[in-house]
Amino acid sequence: MTQTNPLLDLAGLPQYDAIRPEHVNPALDVLLEQARAAVAQAESVETPSWDNFVAPSEDAMERLGRAWGAVAHLESVVNTPELREVYNQNIPRISNFYTELGQNEALYARWKQLAASDEFAGYDQTRRTIVEHAIRDFKLSGAELPAEQKERFMQIEERSSELTTKFAQNVLDATDAFALYVDDESELAGLPDDWKAAARIGAEADGKTGWKVTLKMPSYLPVMQFAENRQLRETLYHAYVTRASEFGPAERDNTPLIEEIHALRQEGAKLLGFESFSEESLATKMADTPNEVLGFLRDLAERAQPHMINDRAEMERYAQERLGYGKLEAWDVGFVSERIREEKYAFSEQEVKQYFTEPTVLTGLFHLVEQLYGLQFVPADAPVWHQDVRFFELKNRDGSLVGGLYLDLYARDGKQGGAWMNDVRGRRKQADGRIQTPVALIVCNFAKGVEGRPALLPHDDVITLFHEAGHALHHLLTEVDELSVSGISGVEWDAVELPSQFMENFAWEWQVLPQLTRHADSGAALPRALYDKMLAAKNFQSGSGMQRQLYFSIFDMELHQRTEPIEIKRLAEMIQGELGIPLPPDYNRFPQSFSHIFAGGYAAGYYSYKWAEVLSADAYAAFEEAAGKTGNVVDATVGERFRREVLARGGSRPALESFTAFRGRKPEIDALLRHNGLAG
């Protein structure tokens, strides 16, 4: 099995197409044994140095991390009952290993010994950062706890891993389980032709007649925006906001999971000496205290609230006067908002997306990267996990390899919703002196093209793709040779969104848009007149959009500030009331599908999107300032500086230092307010 197990072959790219559930246990047996042997060797080192202590341990941990990362990735994008079973079986093994590693007193002592050595005094900032992070992480893993508390902390970590995985699987299963088949086309009035074509294909694939409606975003969102059938919108809304709650099968109800996850997080934080989990979360972030974060969020909410109130009043008037609705309901908001926007700015999203064909958008994105950083994405062969996945090599102009990128853009069954970037491997200098190039992957859930036509992307999907590309470039353009702080590794969580949100801005630039667009029928680029309408509508209801994000962020931080059991629905309603957001129907169970904080890395960290947006907007303002002088917002000189001071540095220094090195000063909030139409 050792010779044929693809999870043990880490010489090149992962063999995604060859990995099977039966490979997982044997591979982990070998890799965990190797990792424990490396730990034992590191414990025995009398005088730790980089070469005899840090590097050998990193080798073994990387092998284990990459193999388990491949399994976790497949579980999220091509989920099967067999893969899920073996993945869930191994969560305790992996969790316990890393918890034991973080609590290893002998290793902790060696790291502290290294930090006090003459060798450490001669380290550059990168290596000093790695040692300092290691010592910090030992403390946060419970290395200083007495034996009995260590055991309890390990139990908490193991159980938390199981619960967060189950939470995500419940959301996936609840989403996949819903299907509504519509036989009368008149009930689909207002929905675009490409949506109906995809829905018909979906029904045929299930052996049904008519059209299939699901809760996946490419199906759900157009219904909420365009369907004139109010009953259809209400049906879909009810199904969506009650996913993974008590309104479905008991085995998929996330309510008890939320309660236990919250209790375990607070217990673990208390063991480590923190007042709450929110304090523990901030120990590795830019922000210092929960109150600092909440003050920042509530300041933005105060600025956004008047705009949101005006938006709501306008929608209520329109719903009553133009549509005859007695009351604006939650399932009306998207539809009414789209109608107002179309009338106010004289264009529709359906008109716009005819220009954003997925192949042209991708070509334009790659061309932008070439203009900014002098790099090229070149299609290449690689083992993939699904036939829709593509792989590209990122190269310098001289043809030298920078890294690799997988793209998995379309929604399908067995694939978690949303969009994300993840690393496949990081950059590092190997023992033989050669550089291991970084590899990343981007996962989205766009609607696939049908009937031989390319996928048509709403502009919001284009922005999503640019966002994830920003994350990927952060990982791929690193010039740091030490694995634990290269690329996205070691970057403070509330700064990691800087490069992603920064990239979104280019999707709004007239200088960039012609290279992103080609009409699906005529082949014409986006007309300037239509662009001007899009730009005029850019901040349409931006106050409402910001208030929604601030609600998520404040809910997350307030939840993790509370150390006692809390009724989750009551907390959500309290914060909505504070922000002036109308309460949803009583059956709404949004928290039960809030995977970012209950199954992802954003617990007591969802505020990072707004925190980092201050950084990203201010960073992009440097390009706007250059354009004011040269007329060119895609400024290669500023791009080179952004690459050198922000993207290339990874986690080798604090994010604030990287930002200040690029901008020449600390961040200011003005650009964020201006970009969102909230200045003044």
Please report how many Cα atoms fall inside a 13 Å half-sphere around the Cα of residue 7, on the Cβ side.
26
- Do residues 351 and 529 lie in contact, with contact meaning Cβ atoms separated by under 8 Å? no
**What sign results for the dihedral spanned by CA atoms 496, 498, 501, 504?**
negative
Listed residue (39, 53, 48, 58) closest to 113, CA to CA:
48
Cα separation, 414 vs 80, in Å, equals 7
Contacts of 454 (CB under 8 A, 6+ apart): 357, 358, 359, 360, 520
State the DSSP code for 50.
I
- Do residues 643 and 619 lie in contact, with contact meaning Cβ atoms separated by under 8 Å? no
Listed residue (678, 504, 592) closest to 247, CA to CA:
592
List Cα–Cα distances, 153 to 35, 156, 275, in angstroms: 21, 5, 16
468 flagged as catalytic: yes
CB neighbours of residue 4 within 10 Å? 10
Contacts of 582 (CB under 8 A, 6+ apart): 312, 576
How open is the CA angle 589-595-599, to the nearest 5 degrees?
130
Listed residue (405, 407, 402) closest to 427, CA to CA:
402
Q: Give me the residues paired with residue 442 across strands.
A: 407, 421
- Do residues 284 and 492 lie in contact, with contact meaning Cβ atoms separated by under 8 Å? yes
The DSSP-derived string for 86-150 is HHHHHHHHHHHHHHHHHT-HHHHHHHHHHHTSHHHHT--HHHHHHHHHHHHHHHHTTTTS-HHHH
Main-chain phi, psi angles of 582, to 5 degrees: -55, 140
Across 613-624, b (16+ Cβ under 10 Å) vs e yields bbbbbbbbbbbb
Cα separation, 76 vs 415, in Å, equals 6
Side chain identity at 138, as an amino acid letter? F
Q: Which residue out of 58, 338, 468, 558 is catalytically annotated?
A: 468
Cα separation, 585 vs 498, in Å, equals 35
- Do residues 258 and 568 lie in contact, with contact meaning Cβ atoms separated by under 8 Å? yes
Listed residue (143, 135, 148, 164) closest to 98, CA to CA:
143
Pairing relation of β-strands 420-425 and 375-380?
A: unpaired
Cα separation, 221 vs 236, in Å, equals 10
The DSSP-derived string for 306-363 is HHHHHHHHHHHHHHHHTS--SS--GGGHHHHHHHHHHHHHS--HHHHHTT-BHHHHHH
State the DSSP code for 456.
B
The DSSP-derived string for 181-210 is EE--GGGGTT--HHHHHHHHHHHHHTT-SS
Cα separation, 146 vs 140, in Å, equals 14
What is the separation, in whole angstroms, between the first and last Cα of the chain? 66
How open is the CA angle 212-452-350, to the nearest 5 degrees?
65
Pairing relation of β-strands 390-396 and 401-410?
A: antiparallel
Contacts of 593 (CB under 8 A, 6+ apart): 171, 174, 243, 244, 254
Q: Could you give the residue numbers annotated as active site?
A: 468
